[in-house]
Amino acid sequence: MTNEIKPPLWILLELTHKCPLECSYCYNQLDFTNTKDAMSKADWFRVMDEARDMGAVQLGISGGEPLLNKDLVEIVEYANNKKFYTNLITSGVGAPKGIVKKLKEAGLKTVQLGIQSHDRNTMTLITNNKNSYDEKIAFAKEVKEAGLQLIINTCITRQNIHQVGEIIEFADELEGNYLEIANIQYYGWALKNINALLPTQEQLDEAKRVTDSYRSKEKAMKVFFVVPDYFADRPKACMNGWGTTFLTINPDGVALPCNTANTLPLEFPNVKEFSIEQIWNESHAFNYFRGDSWMNPTCASCDEKEKDFGGCRCQAFALTGDMNEADPVCSKSDFHHVVTDKVAESLGTTDAKIWYRNRKNSLLLS
């Protein structure tokens, strides 16, 4: 496997980890509150300068909830002036009045809006926020009125998978350009809540059938169905390969090859101390999983290693305690039983409690 370092193409600025929602499937690590908002507007500008100079072209702006950052409009405007294609990834909740129009004028190209259900009660259950339904609908309407492209993302769990047909119709009514039906990956709060969230194989098959039925009608809205990990026997090529395409900057300035990489026992560099070029090309953490020298015999001898790169490192560490292990989703992994055992345990649990990120039932206080 080649160890050639190509420049990053897609940069994600996580402006804050603050969020008005407490989604049961949130990928943020359980101690997410320890990540402080330490990046100034000038810091974000410098990151964009350096990333663009390396050849990056796509810029995602996310969180937490990026609408909570007071410099958001200026950050979008600066990115647009640098010729980035900008995508705002948002819950739409807590949006300042008139913000969408300002973002459009600043050069924003696309909004990716998370909508958990067409049903108010289901959305409240998943987000733990009683205002989320009304605010999301209002935000979606503002996006369309501003002439922005609207991508709707719906994360699928046991609570909403039976609603896939209605969710597709709802997204269509909101004039979404694209709808992504995403079977969640089990990191962070999603892994903590897996016994309450994981659907059955039969439910997944039915959701896929409903999605395919809509697609066959050749509607204007495109619908994508992201297949789940836990019912597969081969892992996904996580992030298109470690340190090949994607670069995430956390609110504290820590640079990561993927959103959850800071759960691994590696020391990741900070953009306040190093340039993007140094981080991408020279840092130990970004070079660690490039190529195949890190692989254990299971992955190193596999004829599919050029396709999946051993799977997800964060998932391997979360489920086996060893970040160098094969992704346990893979049936060739010595730890594949961990996944099948989790599936069996989850599907055998009918009354699992949902843990939210609030102080009353957070793991941080338990």
What residue numbers does the annotated binding site for [4Fe-4S] cluster cover?
A: 19, 23, 26
Q: Identify the H or E element spanning 313.
A: helix 313-320
Report the alpha-carbon distance of residue 37 to residue 14 in Å, rounded.
10
φ, ψ at 249 (rounded to 5°): -115, 120
| Strands of 170-327, DSSP E | 178-183, 222-226, 246-249, 255-256
Which tokens is 52 given? Answer: 């663009």
The secondary structure of 17-38, three-state, reads CCCCCCCCCCCCCCCHHHCCCC
Give me the torsion for CA of 269, 274, 278, 280, rounded to 10°. Answer: 40
Report yes or no: 305 and 295 within 8 Å, Cβ to Cβ.
yes
Q: How far is CA 26 from CA 7, 65, 212, 229, in A?
A: 29, 12, 27, 16
Report the alpha-carbon distance of residue 296 to residue 292 in Å, rounded.
9
Q: Provide the greatest CA pair distance for the chain.
A: 56
Q: Identify the H or E element spanning 111.
A: strand 110-114
* Residue ranges at the known binding site: 19, 23, 26
Query: Can you name the residues that pair with 86 across neighbouring β-strands?
Result: 59
Report the alpha-carbon distance of residue 345 to residue 338 in Å, rounded.
10
**Mapping DSSP to helix (H, G, I), strand (E, B) and coil, where does residue 149 land?**
strand
Q: Which of 203, 138, 202 is nearest to 174 (CA)?
A: 138
Q: How many CB atoms lie within 10 A of CB 307?
A: 11
Query: Can you name the residues that pair with 271 across neighbouring β-strands?
Result: none
Q: Which of 245, 171, 239 is nearest to 210 (CA)?
A: 171
**Mapping DSSP to helix (H, G, I), strand (E, B) and coil, where does residue 30 land?**
coil
